[in-house]
């Protein structure tokens, strides 16, 4: 069973990873995604800042959704094959905004980048990743 998210250009599965984390992206155009995210207490690590792994997940999701929308095929399958992340400042509350975009698509490889900013517009974290497109079994 799939659900139609009002801002997604494709059907989303009933269950998927980021749904359980409490956020989703929007796609203003193919190859680009955006997010606005209110920091929740359960996003914080034991020292009171947003967990780096959570920030990486948001960045990876922004890039992955940008890749997905750029391919124009709801059956397309791909995975993150390499990701570099830079953490620039800590966050312990408020709201984050972010953007992901595809930079290039060469054969079965796509390169994307993403950034997250705090409410003051300051960069919190950036990432760049390579995604590899693959054929699922039986297709």
The 10 Å CB-count burial string (b at 16+, else e) for 25-63 is bebeeebbbbbebebeeebbeeeebbeeebbebbbbbbb
> Which stretches within 1-139 are classed as H helix?
52-71
Give the separation between CA 90 and CA 135, rounded to whole angstroms: 39
Q: Which domains does the chain have, with CATH numbers?
A: 2-134 (3.10.129.10)
Query: Contact at 8 Å (CB) between 77 and 121?
Result: no
Handedness of CA 51, 100, 71, 128 (dihedral sign): negative
Inter-residue contact 94 to 24 (CB < 8 Å): no
What pLDDT does 24 receive?
Answer: 75
What is the value of pTM for the model shown? 0.87
- What pLDDT digit, counting tens, does each position of 67-122 carry? 988 988 878 889 999 999 999 999 999 999 999 999 999 999 999 999 999 999 99
């Amino acid at each position: 069973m799939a659900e139609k998210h009002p801002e997604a250009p494709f059907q989303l599965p009933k269950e998927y990873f980021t749904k359980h984390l409490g956020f989703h992206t929007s796609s203003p155009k193919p190859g680009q995604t955006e997010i606005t995210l209110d920091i929740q207490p359960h996003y914080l690590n034991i020292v009171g800042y947003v967990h780096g792994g959570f920030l990486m997940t948001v960045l990876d999701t922004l890039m992955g959704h940008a890749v997905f929308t750029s391919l124009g095929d709801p059956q397309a399958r791909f995975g993150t094959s390499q990701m570099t992340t830079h953490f620039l400042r800590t966050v312990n509350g408020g709201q984050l905004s972010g953007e992901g975009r595809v930079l290039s698509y060469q054969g079965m490889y796509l390169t994307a980048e993403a950034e997250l900013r705090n409410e003051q517009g300051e960069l919190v974290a950036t990432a760049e990743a390579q995604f590899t497109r693959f054929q699922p079994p039986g297709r």
